[in-house]
Amino acid sequence: MENMVYAHYFPLTSQGNIYSMTKLAVLNSFKLLIASLKREIICFEYVENATLLTPSSKEVLFTYIPNGAEIIAVDAFNKSNKGNDIVIGITIIKTDVPKESYFNIYTGEDNADFNIDNISQNCLMIDLNYTPYQLYHTIIPLFEEESNKSEIVWLLSGSDSKIHLYRDTDGNHSYKETDITKSFVELANVPSIVLWMDVMYYGSKKRRITVFGCESGYVQVSTVDTKNNCVLNTWNIQFVNMIACVKLFTLNSNSINIQNIETEMPQINLVVTNTILPSVVFMDLLKNGLSKKKLLLKSNFYNTQSTCCIADIDYDGENEILIGTYGQEILAYKYKKENDWSLSEHRSFGNPIYSIQFLDITSDGMRELIVLTLKGVHIIQNKPEDIEKKLLSRLKRISLNA
């Protein structure tokens, strides 16, 4: 990270939190949505102007966000592979007495054009009887229709120590809460407030691995037969402090952000970000469960650990683990042999870190590191000359092996 350079920075008028930045995948590009507690929502993108890429950030005025409300979480997905059938979820609370909570779902028309101003005016508002925490989307395979078809659904954790499932019941953006036991049996009973969850499919979507981390320090991992909706294995561990983030990942960077791995027994690993104690990596869950673990040493040296991200920041084909801290540091851990992880580098920022994304926001084929802090958003990229050297080295290696 020390060799990476700034591409852009923009400030926020008020702070966000660990749930308030998400990527927005539109046709052939990515955008960012960043929410602050005081109702401001920014859409950030790079706009091509002649031969230049120009950063652009604008406030989007989403409807049905009342005065005095605070935004808790934002998430988004594209239902279409060929167009822009965008769905954006925003959870909010009103701190007045009595307190009120809402889940707003915004949708647009499925076409090639993207217009976030139109999407922001088309809202389905769902009353909640609990305080929302993480808002997360994933898929449900539809085996009875087509082997490769899936439905995208919302999972929302709440202060009632439950995870709630919201589905589009008629295909016309009519989202309603449905019984979670019929689709995610492993999430039916959780012992505490879930602060973070993650889901990955493998074996052509016939198997699913699910993890969640709780405010109480409890972490649970489950493997599920998705066709029959039955739990195959469950492992759990109790930490002494709350869990900020849990992420499933593979070492191979080609698998990053892929919801389904085709192989039957992939090596899926788990990083658990503790808030106070050192974070932990569990290697090859399908083979070892939670028995093979490795501490990320010094990860607790920089105040509270707030977030983590899986990213191949040095483009060597293997993912690194990035830990963001309230002590204004991002720590990068690199995999060594014998399941060992070592601190390879770190980078300081001017404010506490809330969220990290690693995606191609500039649409140039190279991913950028995007960091949400207390005061603003940083976009950092590798130096072009470093990327050129790596590319030439790989081309040389390919030609020698041809």
Structure confidence at residue 98 (pLDDT): 81
DSSP string for 237-296: EE-SS-EEEEEEE-SBGGGTT-SEE-SSS---EEEEEESSSPPEEE--HHHHTTSSEEE-
pLDDT band at 256 (very low <50, low <70, confident <90, very high): very low
Higher pLDDT, 177 or 336: 177
Place of tokens 């879930």: 194
| pLDDT (tens digit per residue) in 318-348 | 999 999 999 999 999 999 877 789 999 999 9
User: Cis omega (within 30 of 0) on the bond before 98?
Assistant: yes
pLDDT at 262 over 80: no
Q: What end-to-end distance do the CA atoms of the chain give, in Å? A: 33
Helix (H, G, I), strand (E, B) or coil at 12: coil
What are the sequence ranges of the domains in the chain? 17-129
3-class state of residue 366 by DSSP: coil
Q: Is 146 a residue whose pLDDT tops 60?
A: no
The span from the CA of 209 to the CA of 198, in Å, is 8
- Lookup result for tokens 């990327």: 387
Q: Which residue has the higher pLDDT, 356 or 115?
A: 356
- Considering the chain, what is the average pLDDT of its residues? 91
Give residue-wise pLDDT tens across range 65-103. 988 899 999 999 999 888 889 999 999 999 887 889 999
- pLDDT band, residue 402 (cuts 50/70/90): low
- Largest Cα separation within the chain, whole Å, is 70
Strand 29-35: give its sheet, edge to edge: 21-26, 29-35, 41-49, 52-59
H-type alpha helices, 285-383: 285-288
Bigger pLDDT: 394 or 196?
196
**What gap in Å lies between CA 378 and CA 371, rounded to an integer?**
5
CA distances from 98 to 94, 95, 325 (A): 8, 8, 34
The arrangement of strands across the sheet holding 260-261 comes to 230-238, 218-225, 207-214, 194-202, 260-261
Mean pLDDT (whole number) for 240-247: 96
- Residue 258 clears pLDDT 60, i.e. is over it: no
Span 283-294, average pLDDT = 95
Q: What CA–CA distance (Å, rounded) separates 284 from 270?
A: 8
How confident is the model over 16-52, as pLDDT tens digits?
999 999 999 998 889 999 999 888 999 999 988 877 8
